[in-house]
Amino acid sequence: MPEPTAQDVADALDALRSSTPLVQSLTNVVSANFVTNVLLAAGASNAHIDNVHEAAGFAAIASGVLVNLGTPDDGTAAAFTLAAKSARSSGTPWVLDPVGVGGLPWRTELAAELLTLEPTAIRGNASEIIALAGLGSFGRGVDSSSDSKAAVPAAVALLESAQVVSASGPVDYIVGRGNSGPVGVSVTGGSPLLTKVTATGCSLAALVAAYLSVSPDPLVGITAAHAHVMVASEKAAKNATGPGSFAVAYLDALASVTPTDLRGAQIEPLTL
């Protein structure tokens, strides 16, 4: 499939809101509430099912699954694996968000194990994507110390394990498997205030899971999620005086974004 266009992502938003996909989020304790609110505002729904007794069963019936490594412990790590295996066998799209990978050995090993279960999509900041691909290890906790464009080669390398990969930053870079090799796009825009509110990245990964479930191609789905966030954050920043008011305005903006808004998203093809 060729690179997604703004019209493709506008169509994806129509599909999202007409079906209200249910995302199973195995996410960290810091982000759980915000992830739920973001999905509801955007037009999807959330179920925070992350225990070993229910994770696999729910992954088989969810529209999409998020596995976020923000605050793992032995129990949630086992649930991650169960959910990922179930999603894979059931054909449920699932997203790996490798929070903190590269700087913390145990979760880095866990992420490597999850990669063998072939996530549909991987979404992280530049440092996480580079570390996950084995091209470096210089992250700063959950923050990125690398420019998102620097992560493009690592993102391409990760296509051996995932269908699509994105590196978030001031410009988001997204790559996927094309008919004759990797293809990709950049999504430009957004607001610096996204970095001043916790869980904006985690909730983006959840939104990717929602869009993957309604899109004809994974590259369209992940691009639509990034574009939705970029456009909404620009809208929210116009009505915000700081991080607190931005967080509230951002939820409102996610709900108010229209297909017409997304037709104006700054999506450009990448030369790979």
Q: Which residues of 207-245 are buried (b: 16+ CB within 10 A; e: fewer)?
A: bbbbbbbbbebbbbbbbbbbbbbbbbbbbbbeebeeeee
Phi-psi category of 46—alpha, beta or left, where left has phi over 0 and alpha has psi -120 to 50? Answer: beta
Any domain includes 1 = no
Range of the domain at 177: 6-269
Q: Does 105 reside within a domain?
A: yes
pLDDT for the residue numbered 135 = 59
Our count of domains for the chain comes to: 1
pTM value surpassing 0.85: yes
The token pair at 28 is 């960290």
Reply yes or no on whether the pLDDT at 139 is more than 70: no
In a domain, 92, yes or no: yes
Spatial neighbors of 155 by CB under 8 A, at least 6 apart, are 122, 129, 133, 165, 166, 167, 173, 174, 175, 184
| CATH code, domain with 50 | 3.40.1190.20
Q: What is the pLDDT of residues 239-271, one digit of tens each?
A: 999 999 999 999 999 999 999 999 999 999 999
CA–CA dist 214, 58 (Å, integer) = 18
- 47 phi/psi in degrees, rounded to 5: -135, 120
